[in-house]
């Protein structure tokens, strides 16, 4: 092995040794010309297969009690709307949800920056856990402005969960309604709530949302328009091909790079006539964010499970109340139509995808 090869191998080993487990979710939004609003995202998880392809349904007027570090003694409320949510590790909530009023809520990993309020028994009646906040929003509100106002009524604390080794669950949230308006909710500094208007509906992970918006200034030269030929010293230099206007677009899986890439690809999306067109355009855009097994996995072994890889990709049509998804183990797109669901019958219900965890292939051999 040459000296340069040895240095490269050492450098790569150091990078892998310092690389933390990834939880690299990416969210975007698209709007169709007929008014349909789409919220779409990828879901990655650092531990193992979280069984995100199992959904849960809650009816209207469902009674909830929030969890605190001392048990089920937090906020008590009765939901107004029925909703569905992806699940995680058998918990009755997960990374994505949509209610019958067309409100979308997504949780996105926010390590190193999320810092929830300290537990205070005197404020138990208004306290919720991370997962409870998502269910509170989905069951109670229909617009982002209602969510913005309702955040003042709750206090979010960390509740340890044995499924995650007792670790904190550092998340921030994206909320979007059928008008296309979106909010980013971040809780930092021991419970301080910051709410940002979602820029093009794009969200990734740490650092804070304001940092990501500032970082976009480093990429002002990006354009979907190809660079023009340049003449220097009598020689004409032309681009090699398409995409020359986006030369320099970051392609790695870090949150800052994914944020810039998501903004660029969302902003350059072609005009879309219908919600269905926008849904499948969102899936195509998010293909640029799929993380293969092993690409960001544990440094001491080759990944055999799907930790740190893209496990599920979702797209919610908020106007038509349709929730689409496909998984890494089955790329067949599945859909749940909330307009056809029974949200009157009491009780939580589980919705299984019906997939057998193998790729659906259509044989067209003549």
What is the 3-state secondary structure of 63-90?
EEECCECCECCCCEEECCCCEEEECECC
In a domain, 11, yes or no: no
What is d(CA 129, CA 38) in angstroms, rounded to the nearest whole number? 27
Tens of pLDDT along 92-110? 888 999 999 999 999 999 9
The answer to whether the beta carbons of residues 173 and 184 sit under 8 Å apart is yes
The answer to whether residue 365 sits within a structural domain is no
Confirm whether 269 is domain-assigned.
Answer: yes
Please compute, for residue 301, the number of CA atoms within 13 A of its CA located in the half-sphere on the CB side.
Answer: 4
* Residue 359 scores a pLDDT above 80: yes
Task: Answer yes or no: is 343 within a domain.
Answer: yes
pLDDT score recorded for residue 355: 57
Number of structural domains (the chain) is 1
Asked if residue 315 lies in contact with residue 38, where contact means CB atoms within 8 angstroms, the answer is: yes
Which residues constitute the domain of residue 202? 20-352
Tokens 């067949």 — which residue?
332
CATH of the domain at 322: 3.60.60.10
Can you give the pLDDT at residue 237? 83
Q: How confident is the model at residue 14 (pLDDT cuts 50, 70, 90)?
A: very low
**pLDDT of 73 over the 70 cut:** yes
Nearest to 17 by CA among 298, 335, 225, 286: 298
Supply the pTM of this predicted model: 0.88
Residue 321 lies in a domain: yes
Region 311-338: mean pLDDT is: 93
> What is the rounded distance in angstroms from the CA atom of residue 162 to the CA atom of residue 51?
17
- Full DSSP string of 286-311: HGGG---TTTT--TTS---S-TTSEE
Question: Does any domain span residue 97?
Answer: yes
Distances (CA, A) of 311 to 51, 255, 289: 9, 17, 12
Overall residue count recorded for the chain in this entry: 366
Does 339 reside within a domain? Answer: yes
Distance of alpha carbon 202 from alpha carbon 208, whole angstroms: 13
Beta bridge partners of 95: none
pLDDT of residue 94: 84
Phi-psi region of 114 (alpha: psi -120 to 50; beta: other; left: phi over 0): beta
Is there a domain that residue 364 lies in?
no
């Amino acid at each position: 092995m040459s000296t340069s090869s040895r240095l490269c191998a050492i450098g790569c080993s150091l990078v892998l040794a310092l690389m933390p487990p990834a939880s690299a979710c990416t969210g975007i939004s698209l709007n169709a010309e007929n008014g349909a609003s789409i919220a779409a995202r990828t879901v990655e998880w650092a531990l193992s297969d979280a069984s995100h392809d199992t959904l849960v349904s809650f009816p209207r007027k469902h009674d909830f009690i929030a969890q605190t570090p001392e048990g089920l003694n937090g906020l008590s409320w009765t939901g107004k709307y029925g909703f569905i949510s992806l699940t995680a590790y058998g918990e009755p909530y997960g990374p994505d949800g949509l209610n019958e009023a067309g409100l979308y809520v997504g949780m996105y990993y926010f390590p190193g920056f999320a810092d929830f309020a300290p537990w205070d028994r005197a404020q138990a009646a208004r306290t919720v856990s991370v997962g409870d906040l998502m269910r509170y929003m989905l069951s109670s509100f229909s617009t982002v402005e209602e969510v913005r106002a309702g955040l003042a009524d709750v206090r979010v604390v960390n509740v340890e969960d044995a499924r995650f080794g007792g670790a904190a669950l550092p998340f921030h949230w994206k909320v979007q309604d059928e008008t296309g308006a979106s909010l980013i909710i971040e809780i930092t500094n021991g419970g301080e709530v910051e709410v940002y208007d979602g820029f093009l509906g794009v969200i990734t992970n740490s650092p804070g949302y304001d940092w990501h918006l500032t970082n976009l200034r480093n990429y002002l030269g990006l354009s979907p328009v190809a660079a023009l030929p340049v003449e220097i010293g009598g020689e004409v230099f032309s681009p090699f091909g398409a995409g020359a206007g986006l030369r320099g677009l970051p392609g790695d899986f870090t949150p800052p790079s994914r944020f810039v890439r998501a903004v660029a690809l969302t902003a350059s999306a072609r005009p879309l006539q219908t919600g269905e067109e926008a849904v499948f355009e969102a899936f195509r855009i998010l293909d640029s964010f799929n993380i293969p097994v092993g690409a960001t996995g544990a440094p001491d072994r080759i990944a055999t499970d799907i930790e740190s890889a893209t496990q599920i990709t979702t797209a919610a049509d908020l106007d038509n109340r349709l929730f689409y998804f496909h998984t890494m183990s089955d790329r067949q797109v599945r859909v749940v139509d909330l307009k056809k669901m029974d949200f009157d019958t009491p009780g939580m219900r589980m919705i299984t995808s019906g997939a057998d965890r193998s790729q659906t292939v259509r044989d067209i051999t003549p």
